[in-house]
Structure 1
Amino acid sequence: MSKSNSKTKIKKLDKKIKISQKCNSNLYKNGKYIDQLINIADSIDFDEEGKLVMDCLKELKELENNNKQALLENDNNTLYPHLNDKYFNKKIFKKREFNETKMEKQPNVKDIEAITNSLCQDQEFELAPHQMFVRNFLSFQTPYNGLLLFHGVGTGKTCSAISVSEEMREYNKQMNITKEILIVASPNVQTNFKLQLFNEKKLREVNGLWNIKSCTGNKFLKEINPMNMKGLPKTDVIKQINRIIKQNYKFLGYTEFSNYISKIIDKYSTKGKKNEKKALRNEFSNRLIIIDEVHNLRITDKVKDVKKSTENLKKVVVYANNLKLLLLSATPMYDNAREIVWILNILNLNDNRFPIEENEIFDSNNNILTEDGKGKELLVQKSTGYISYIRGENVFTFPYRIYPNDMGEKGSLEYMMKNKWEYPSKQANDITISGVEGINYLDLMTIPICDYQSKVYNFNIQYLKDKKKGFIKDEDKNSGIPYVLLDGLVQILNFSYPHKKFNEDNPGKKYDIVKRLYGIDGLKRNMFYTKETMFRSFAYKSDTIKNYGRLFDYDNLGKYSNKIEFIMKKIINKKGELQSKGKILIYSRYIHGCIIPLALALEEVGFTRYGGNSLFKEKPKTKYTKHNHKLRYIMITGDSVLSPNKLEEINAFNSPDNKDGEEIKVIIVSKAASEGLDFQCIRQVHIVDPWYNIYRIEQIIGRAVRNQSHCLLPFIERNVEIYLHATLLKDTNIESIDFYLYRLAEKKVKSIAAVSKILKENAIDCFLNSVQSDMSKDKLKKKVDQILSSKEYNKIKFVLGHKDNTPVCDFNKCEIKCENNKKINSVNEETYNNYYMVLNVDKIIQRIRLLFKDEYIYSKKELIKRVQHIKNYPREQILFALDQLIKDKNEYLVDMFNRIGTLKNIDDYYFFQPLELNDENTQMYDNKHLIDNKWKQLDFILPEKIKEEKISSNKKIHNILIMLRNNLNDMKNRKWLSKEEKKNFSKIAAWTIYLLKEFNDIDVDKFYRYAMYTIFEQLSGEDKLLLLKHLWSDDYIEENEEERYAKFYFKKFIKNNIIGIVMKGKIKYYILENNNWNKLPSNKDNLTKDMYKNDKNKNKNIGILEIGKNKGIDYRIKNTEKENERAGAICGTGDYQKADMVVNNNKLFRIFDQETNSRYMGMDKYYMEKSSIKKIYGNKYDDKLSIKHENKTKSVKLSLKHLCVEHQLLLTHFQEENFLDKRWIYFYVELIANK
């Protein structure tokens, strides 16, 4: 293919050069040539097709460079700047639609506390300027097709993506395009994306209309209710919005996405490349793909999977037309700097631009080529127009990171280096470390190795030297140590287990025991436990107790783990006194090598696992009993046995009631918690074991250091102590494996930092966001008082602002100097139109509505000034919003009396006019005052006389707790029932829960809790109040199971710190103030309006718990479709005999099985013959539950009472889990409220 012939295939349009369809088709029709780029040695032999491909690639490169030169020579303004324009970023800055989204100047830090407290308040949600920029840049008003959001943690990447996807959805709707928007992300991030799109829990009804604070604002609500009709049922609103999302979005994991493409390719693989291309083009053209944490596409254990996923995506961008691509990542170069080439190639290929080779930018050491600056020049050229950069960790909304040197820790590596400590000169494999290769930026928490640990560590080193090839290297060769050889050493420095064959004084070469000194083998050698259940199964082996004592006891920890001992001392001392305030996060990759030992060490000092059983079979007889607080922990891991109730535990951990760790003090996490999870109010982070990638560690720290994560704490406590634990060996000349991995991580991040700096300075929004540099400590020059979590350090003066060579600045200089700083003064309005003007209208209208709640009339000048008070909206946009409010008959205002009205305008004045006054000549006096209304009656509430208790509160609460304990014991201990006992709810519940567990795989803990709800319902109002006050009292110390269930029960009915309790048939309200429940003052009665009223979307048959004539609980079942059935029939009487309950329960189990994906889906549970149940899920059953009683087998008949209790527990479960979004059961206080 000659150059002259190929030129005939070129079309020039507005100085944009495109290769013809034929050349483009030849270039990519064979996948094996996609990665063969321009600069390949001439000696390589290509077939004819390959030569054609190479010619096309060369032509693409030549034409792109010619185009770049042409743009330099002729600087005329086009509609939008070309991607090859050297001054692209400055011209973008000049465009009004983008210029209006420039980042606002940071507020004055003089009163930093007032600023942060203001930002912590629950404000109306509004897109940040950088999020509006992203939306505008990728809109269909511009020619741009791809963008990488290189946005730091907490900057709202998900909301930025949603702003783009919703504009795309609107465009698709107008163009009648029915293709779904593809969201590619991990499961945790998918869940977060869906919640950001629409979180039904944030729906609020205001004056009959639904509102929501979210990324999308009220867009969905307006779409389903354009006429602003009042009184739409919440369930209908949720259903319609979910339907819109389901129709327009498709969520895929990374592997799912790759397989999704592969299926399309495989379907046409036998029909030739032409059909394959056509299929991909049909599927992905005119579509938006959003890939969150795009670097994850290349992170997998299998090289084959990496190649497949990356090649598949390349094929999509090559063959699809008009494809929009939005890539998200706070760390686009996760493992090494070369990874940016793949991302840039994806974005360039999507625009039919030539791709590049890694060796065109990097040398063999991953450094940017310096010869003639070609490496940087090409990187700038290929990244122009594709990178948006926002720095994370806003100093006004994020907690402050406190490293060991900041708190004066003598073990701080930074502190030690300042005090002339010398970095070790040798690696673990005896290779010499260069003087400049030490750790320069990471402030590690160094801990001296303990004696026994040191001997085990050295034994393992000798084993590697003697037995493992690749550990010992020549000085002149690659000095790196294969990671597979490091795993045991890292675990030994976490916890070293004793072994009777290991001679501490003369270990010898008994290498067969090496693996039994750490990790899972070490744990198994010293502990009994059941792998399938874990909990309540751990016990020391007799040999371990005899020879070494209790390994995880506080006094013994220092022999086997320097790190765990250090962490435990940060939590509690020998006297049982807490040594830190607030919650603590501990991370390790190793479940058996660290996480379980940590949990056992916590249990040894009195900690228990929240929400369920602890690990030890028998609770340790701890001597640390002086504490007057609850000690609980949770584990979030990828092991379903260890972490069966992750969501429930995380919610409890993040609860406002637990902001100081009063309910759950410690959370131990594994790699499974590194993405998509947010933790609130963490005060300490302990990274127990290192990793060769600093961004993995940053992901963990990022779970604790979050945007507005510490707002519940006072300003002076909004900080997080961060400990990167690293062991110091006894031989100070040798580097420990901890140090080696951190050094390797730092070395990697330095080469990444150089590329990051170029990308940041060449970002399309660099000029727009130039004020980011104002957040550096050098610019802010401000110190603030901070009280630390650790008691021994107390208060410090913390220097505010981003610091050079820290993670937030990618271990580089924080200052950013934008590329090609060509001065442009004027703003270009050629492409500005109504599309951009209306984008902010909803928020401006919302602001105007709030203003008219305060006043009835404003001058134009005053109204514009008030709207711009919070944000400087353009004047044209405000006038556009006012015009829409006046002309749109469906847009209403609400005044201070909650009257609905419209906006009127006369000359330069805007005023509110109530709908009830339709005379346009009405005077302003009438608009401001309510129409006279004669009240029928006035109600006065007189104080009630409180009778003195005959029995002391302490005695009463003691009796209540004993009664609760007895009932729970009855539920947990099945036994043969006498005639009298067959009426006892708890004894019947024992058999019911047993049957549910046997056949339906229920969470037993939950069903015990549901059964205990009935016992709490039986309490009198006075006893409930006593129990409530006891559970929230300051001196409340230890919570047992029945008390924990009681807290769950009361929290069901607490709303905004107010609870209602039925006293003598009427609801009395109490408010929580300073941990005391007091009677709600009459002037706050409005807070209880409709508090328990929920009469919508009831199931046909609902359960009702009601106080019966004998003061016990009657369980009624009411058919809501029968108008004449007011109260419902008591289960077991009237219409609800055994056969009826079998039918009812079978219906419920069908719902249960469907919602839980049970293996019994579609089957009836019970099958009856005459009056007996003969089969359960098709298995023969004799209607009797057998148990040994007094050396004989006696049976308990599966009675009507069992079926009634089962029905009640199932409905309670359905209500708790919100099955089908229906009302299933009423508790007594709800029954009274809804009468």
Structure 2
Amino acid sequence: KEEKGDAAAGKMLTPFLLDVLRYSEGMKFCVLTATPMYNTYKEIIFMLNLLLMNDKKATIIASDIFDRNGTITEKGAARLSAIAQHYVSFMRGENPISFPVRLFPQVPALSAYPTMDPRGAPLPADETSYYQKLPLAPVILQGETLRASMLFMNDLPADGKGLSTIMLEKLVHAGNIVVPATDSTRGDTIEAYTLRANSESLWTVMDQQIMGGELRVRAKASVGAKWLVEGELANFSPKFEFLLKRVRNAEGCIFAYSRFVSGGALPLALVLEANGYTPYERKPILMDGIQAQGGRQCAMCPRKEREHASASHAFSPAYYGLITGNTNLSPQNEKIIVAQRGIANKDGKMIKIVIGSQIASEGVDFRFIRETHVIDSWYHLNKTEQILGRAIRFLSHCALEKERRNNTVYLYVGVIPSDVSNRETADLLSYRMGFRKAVQIGRVTRIMKQSAIDCNLNKDAIIVRGEPPVKQIDAQRVEREAVNINDTPFTAVCDWIETCEYQCNPSLPMKELDIDDSTYDEFSARWRVHQIKERIKQMFSVQSFYQSEDLWNSMADIPRLAIVDVLHDIVNNRAFQVKYNDTNGYIRYCNGYYLLQPNVYADLTIPLAIRVAKFPVKRDNYAPIQPELAKWDDDVKVDDMAAVPSVSIDRLWIAIVRWVDHLSTNSEYVDPPGEVDQRRRDISQHDAERLDQFLQIIQMIQRFHRAFHLSTKQNPESFRRALLFYFWDEWLSLSEQRKLVMSTPSVLECIRNDQYQFGKTLVNRYLDPKSGAVIFECENGKDCVPSFVHEINRDTKEPMRVFKVDRNTTGERYGFIAPKYGDLVFKTAEAPMPGGVVPRGKECANVSNTKGHLTILMNLGSILETHRMTDFELNREKLTGKEEIRNSIRLCTLMDLVLRYMDEEKIDKKKWFFRPIMAFYTGHKGLFRDGSSAE
């Protein structure tokens, strides 16, 4: 659809462009294009005629250049060369230094090409060798895909020629995925399989609905969703089965492309979710949940969440991003692209897989993509090159180790087993047609290269040859010892023809000009030396040491002899002074490093740390200055008080997430990371009592962790979410939450239930503890305009607004977060009877009667024991015995975590905890400094 739209736009523009070129005088006209011929060799005629028309010269027609078979005639080659010599400049794009290395997939190749086309007609032998030159990944069709493909091909008239676009698309669909049969689609007929293998076939086995502006689907009860699980999936989509196995074992990011949405990208997303992958920036599409054993998939290894206890790293859920033109299906395309490109995603932790449809085939720049999987074929290779170009970009892999700066390309082709038929599939046919057209286009491109105005200047920079093999480690962790990075025949950079070498037409001898230094006098030399010295001073003002190699590379634009002279003059020269921060000194060379030697030190062997360290200066007298006491602002939240926090909020949150992930999946407790420990010190502001309170909180997290892993029936996801949301709600300030939402997309699960879909805008909501009001945040972190807020507030049917807090819907004793004098505090309350008033609740930490807390915890333990076969150590013996919990800080922290966990588990199908936004909308009041309360 997108491609047709582009073509239509081009046709609308052409008449106006032709009129401008036809009637303008003296206009300069320049065309920049990476694909002067996109689909057919004849397109070069149109491009060259634009240039000729602007100069008011005679235009050409196809027969001037080509014969009826598309072969360039001798006269046509001369004519084409003459035009190129006047108008064409050519420069190479991709190179092996700035771009990732392309790798062929290490999969079983075709042993031999089929001898017949899809209709059963014999194939010309000279057209079947192409498969050895493309990175094809053969996938043996089986089960329903094999049956559908054979039925469709057997229905083709044997005396016909080629395949129509409609028939080709039908066969490609059949090779991609065939959904299970239902009562209305059952049968071994062409009609039945057509309903099961087309762009709308998914809806014969799934029901769809729009919820909160997002498309959600649920498997029909008669079919279920188990057919999407790896293993059984091979019967319905061998391609998706192949992809699942590759992705699970791959390291880094993966890009999977399908030009179909309902027949490609969407079912692939459902397959990933059924096998444990988590959608990024939206709720799961598949409402049936994970179908495969083991739970969620880890992004860093092949293990699932329940199999991860013995892993050497913390569990990191594998996320996938979906990029299509359907806003209900993929409402956050831009955020997915930003997150995928972020440096934090270089190993695939943020987004493991990106699924793209045609909208992702142009104008999108990915980074760190280690494998590109093109699932369905197309019949011209320039389109395929455009797709691969999304993942193979300039400097796109520079953050990775040198051996891992590569991209393995998989062009999927369905293949019929040789014992069933010797026909080529639609995929093989498409690539055969595409390769034939690419060769025709390549022969035109080669003549234009040879005849380009700047051929003699650029030729040596265009052809890459003579480079030694390099070692590469592909995404499957396979070491490839000798990878050829030189230009290879029958590739795009070599015009898809048999040789990469060519001679310019005309070929001119190139000679270097003699250096003329007649005007370079003594004054010019001194001025230039001064410039170099100032540059070195500037470098040492930024950094106090440089490796010899780095220093030389930073001045590679200066003649080497000049650098030698300058360094000889300044090294160990005390008269040449440089300054780093407040330290003055001179430059020394030591063990391969150019170092700052401070003037105050006579010792030349001092370590680097001391060279730049600050030290006390001796003074004649010392009069201590009385520090000015800072005013205490009661409106400032405690965790906002540190003027310069020791740990950035981004680092803190990443550390918390990793720690919580580890605790949820490992029975062995590990101490909190240094960032968390530093955070409690920052918040405590050297207050020993406050510092001890945070230590008690950490002790209760340890106790909660132990009790969880001793329970018989464990749900690591509920534990993870309960603990993660506790840190989000009660350890971060409002400003920190908003900053993290803008900078760290993975935190969105913490606010997802508070988001509101207003048309195409996804609104984030926060509760301001100072005013008790809800803050509505629209795009780019800015507050929504009042009209948006007014319309959102008018929505009285939102589920959290209509929720009634009573004994039927809520636990008898439940918890919630509410504002109190500028802070958010944890409160507990008893659920009212139906129709009763929502209680104000009691702040847990302010209740001095610990016996009441103990009673509540023991009651919660009894409820958990009924449902979980264990009481989470919430019994009298554990709570009042040797491990007695003696104060309200400990008791309230444990109660907070337990109630959050029960809420995640939906014990008795009730609410047990209300986070800030839902607490606000359900009528839980807060307290403010003027003595007022607000709902």
Taking structure 2 as the reference length, the TM-score comes to 0.59
Residue 344 of structure 1 corresponds to which residue in structure 2? 48
Q: Deviations over 1:93-120 (max 9, x none)?
A: xxxxxxxxxxxxxxxxxxxxxxxxxxxx
3-state SS of 1:538 partner? strand
Residue 1036 of structure 1 corresponds to which residue in structure 2? 662
Residue 1064 of structure 1 corresponds to which residue in structure 2? 684
Q: Which amino acid aligns with 1:694?
A: L
Equivalent-residue separation in structure 2 for 1:339 and 1:828 (angstroms): 44
1:816-827 superposed matches below 5 A: 816-823=502-509, 825=511
Contact 1:1187 1:1195 in 2 (8 A): no
3-state SS of 2:126 partner? coil
Q: Which amino acid aligns with 1:644?
A: P
CA RMSD after TM alignment: 5.2
Q: 1:496 to 1:796 in 2, by over 3 A?
A: farther
Equivalent-residue separation in structure 1 for 2:165 and 2:65 (angstroms): 28
Query: Residue 938 of structure 1: CA displacement?
Result: 9.9
Q: Deviations over 1:1137-1171 (max 9, x none)?
A: x9xx9xxx9xx99x97999999x88x6966xxxxx
Q: Deviations over 1:527-574 (max 9, x none)?
A: 2222566868332212113xxx711011211111111111111123xx
Q: 1:456 to 1:635 in 2, by over 3 A?
A: same
Q: Deviations over 1:1042-1066 (max 9, x none)?
A: xxxxx9xx9xx99xxx999734348
Equivalent-residue separation in structure 1 for 2:222 and 2:788 (angstroms): 52
Query: Residue 1038 of structure 1: CA displacement?
Result: 7.0
Q: 1:569 to 1:773 in 2, by over 3 A?
A: same
Query: Residue 1185 of structure 1: CA displacement?
Result: 6.8
2:65 pairs with one of 353, 361, 365: 361
Equivalent-residue separation in structure 1 for 2:529 and 2:393 (angstroms): 29
Equivalent-residue separation in structure 1 for 2:836 and 2:87 (angstroms): 76
Contact 2:372 2:388 in 1 (8 A): yes
Q: 1:934 to 1:445 in 2, by over 3 A?
A: same
Q: 1:349 to 1:659 in 2, by over 3 A?
A: same
Q: 1:361 to 1:894 in 2, by over 3 A?
A: farther
Residue 643 of structure 1 corresponds to which residue in structure 2? 330
User: Is residue 207 of structure 2 the alignment partner of residue 540 of structure 1?
Assistant: no
1:511-910 superposed matches below 5 A: 511=191, 513-530=192-209, 537-545=216-224, 550-572=226-248, 579-624=249-294, 625-627=306-308, 628-730=315-417, 731-772=420-461, 775-776=464-465, 779-780=466-467, 782-791=468-477, 793-812=478-497, 813-823=499-509, 825=511, 849-853=534-538, 870-871=556-557, 896=579
Contact 1:439 1:742 in 2 (8 A): no
Contact 1:399 1:705 in 2 (8 A): yes
User: Is residue 127 of structure 2 the alignment partner of residue 437 of structure 1?
Assistant: yes
Query: Residue 310 of structure 1: CA displacement?
Result: 1.4
Query: Residue 806 of structure 1: CA displacement?
Result: 1.3
1:169-248 superposed matches below 5 A: none
Q: Which amino acid aligns with 2:485?
A: L
Q: Which amino acid aligns with 1:364?
A: R
Residue 32 of structure 2 corresponds to which residue in structure 1? 328
Contact 2:230 2:292 in 1 (8 A): no
Q: Deviations over 1:724-774 (max 9, x none)?
A: 110111344211000000001101101000001011111222111122355
Equivalent-residue separation in structure 1 for 2:455 and 2:211 (angstroms): 54
Identical positions, percent: 25
Contact 1:804 1:811 in 2 (8 A): yes
User: Is residue 138 of structure 2 the alignment partner of residue 451 of structure 1?
Assistant: no
3-state SS of 1:686 partner? strand
Equivalent-residue separation in structure 2 for 1:844 and 1:339 (angstroms): 55
Query: Residue 311 of structure 1: CA displacement?
Result: 1.7
Contact 1:1186 1:1195 in 2 (8 A): no
Equivalent-residue separation in structure 2 for 1:637 and 1:353 (angstroms): 45
Q: 1:584 to 1:824 in 2, by over 3 A?
A: closer
Query: Residue 844 of structure 1: CA displacement?
Result: 13
Q: Which amino acid aligns with 1:495?
A: I
3-state SS of 1:815 partner? coil
Q: Which amino acid aligns with 2:662?
A: Y
Equivalent-residue separation in structure 2 for 1:725 and 1:696 (angstroms): 15
Equivalent-residue separation in structure 1 for 2:661 and 2:579 (angstroms): 44
1:967-1006 superposed matches below 5 A: none
Equivalent-residue separation in structure 2 for 1:896 and 1:756 (angstroms): 56
Equivalent-residue separation in structure 2 for 1:586 and 1:1112 (angstroms): 37
Q: Which amino acid aligns with 2:428?
A: F
User: Is residue 199 of structure 2 the alignment partner of residue 507 of structure 1?
Assistant: no
Q: Deviations over 1:340-360 (max 9, x none)?
A: 121112122222332222221
Residue 19 of structure 2 corresponds to which residue in structure 1? 315
- In structure 1, the gaps of 5 or more residues are 1-254, 256-295, 466-470, 573-578, 830-842, 857-864, 877-892, 900-932, 941-984, 986-1012, 1040-1046, 1068-1109, 1117-1129, 1167-1174, 1198-1204, 1210-1235
Equivalent-residue separation in structure 1 for 2:143 and 2:349 (angstroms): 36
3-state SS of 2:338 partner? helix
Query: Residue 811 of structure 1: CA displacement?
Result: 1.0
Equivalent-residue separation in structure 2 for 1:303 and 1:711 (angstroms): 35
Q: Deviations over 1:576-635 (max 9, x none)?
A: xxx222221111111221222222222222211123311221422531331444222111
3-state SS of 2:354 partner? strand
- In structure 2, the gaps of 5 or more residues are 295-305, 309-314, 516-527, 542-550, 563-575, 583-616, 625-634, 666-671, 688-729, 737-766, 809-833, 840-915, 921-935
Equivalent-residue separation in structure 1 for 2:115 and 2:732 (angstroms): 77
Contact 2:471 2:479 in 1 (8 A): no
Equivalent-residue separation in structure 1 for 2:731 and 2:11 (angstroms): 70
Q: 1:810 to 1:1033 in 2, by over 3 A?
A: farther
Q: Which amino acid aligns with 2:270?
A: L
Q: 1:519 to 1:1176 in 2, by over 3 A?
A: closer
Taking structure 1 as the reference length, the TM-score comes to 0.45
Equivalent-residue separation in structure 1 for 2:19 and 2:514 (angstroms): 38
3-state SS of 2:93 partner? coil
3-state SS of 1:700 partner? helix
Q: 1:444 to 1:323 in 2, by over 3 A?
A: same
Equivalent-residue separation in structure 2 for 1:567 and 1:1132 (angstroms): 48
User: Is residue 186 of structure 2 the alignment partner of residue 494 of structure 1?
Assistant: no
Contact 1:570 1:580 in 2 (8 A): yes
Equivalent-residue separation in structure 2 for 1:390 and 1:599 (angstroms): 39
Q: 1:740 to 1:1066 in 2, by over 3 A?
A: farther
3-state SS of 1:823 partner? coil
Contact 2:365 2:393 in 1 (8 A): yes
Contact 1:847 1:867 in 2 (8 A): no
Equivalent-residue separation in structure 2 for 1:592 and 1:767 (angstroms): 50
Q: Which amino acid aligns with 1:603?
A: E
Q: Deviations over 1:486-535 (max 9, x none)?
A: 1121011111112246999x8245x2x34321244321111222256686
Query: Residue 851 of structure 1: CA displacement?
Result: 3.2
